[in-house]
Amino acid sequence: MAEITLLLGANRGEPHATFARATTLIEDRIGRILASSRDHWTEPWGFQDDRLFLNRAILLESDLAPARVMEKLLEIEMELGRERTSSDGYSSRTIDLDILFIGEQVIEQPGLSVPHPRVHERTFALAPAADIIPDLVHPVLKHMVIDLLDQTLHEP
């Protein structure tokens, strides 16, 4: 069993309802949810939009292989109305499900990088993660999640 930290994000449709459905599907298909962060409303990152994003981190345990977890997350995104374009840059979305951490594992496979390669730059990911795993040490950067959050909040 591995502990997996996911980030849910959305700014189109009804994010709270979408998160409720996503959480049910994640628990049914991937593993048992151990903890959930409070909800965080944040500005879009990497593009402009009038709508704020709702972000929430969840911690779950699963016996699925990491690549299989990613496959299941992509299936859930599609089922909940996520539309991907060929450019797939940053844009508004009904749901985004990202793997932030799998314990302290480091994974580099086609279509899967763990920890998430930009988690340390993103307050919108670190703040919800810090609600549930503040003491988790980033396996590459060797800093706790709470310290990485502090760094993003104090950058110029």
Domain ranges of the chain: 2-153
pLDDT at 45: 76
* C-alpha count within 13 angstroms, C-beta hemisphere, residue 43: 6
User: From the candidates 56, 98, 122, 131, which is the catalytic residue?
Assistant: 98
96 is catalytic: yes
pLDDT at 91: 66
122 is catalytic: no
Write down the pTM of the prediction.
0.92
User: From the candidates 56, 96, 122, 131, which is the catalytic residue?
Assistant: 96
pLDDT at 89: 63
56 is catalytic: no
88 is catalytic: no
Q: 15 - beta bridge partners? A: none
Q: 58 - beta bridge partners? A: 6, 36
Instruction: Give CA–CA dist 116/84, Å, rounded.
Output: 19
Comparing CA positions, the residue from 118, 84, 114 lying closest to residue 5 is 114
User: From the candidates 56, 93, 122, 131, which is the catalytic residue?
Assistant: 93
pLDDT at 130: 98
| Cα separation values, 112 from 47, 57, 154, Å | 23, 18, 29
Residue with tokens 């609600």: 131
pLDDT at 94: 84
**Cα–chain center distance at 45:** 14
For the stretch 85-140, pLDDT in tens is 655 566 678 899 999 999 999 999 998 999 999 999 999 999 999 999 999 999 99
pLDDT at 143: 97
For the stretch 24-82, pLDDT in tens is 999 999 999 999 999 999 988 776 778 899 999 999 999 999 999 999 999 999 999 87
User: From the candidates 12, 21, 29, 82, which is the catalytic residue?
Assistant: 82
Instruction: Give CA–CA dist 149/108, Å, rounded.
Output: 23
Contact 95, 102 (CB under 8 A): no
> Which CATH fold would you assign to the domain 2-153?
Alpha-Beta Plaits (3.30.70)
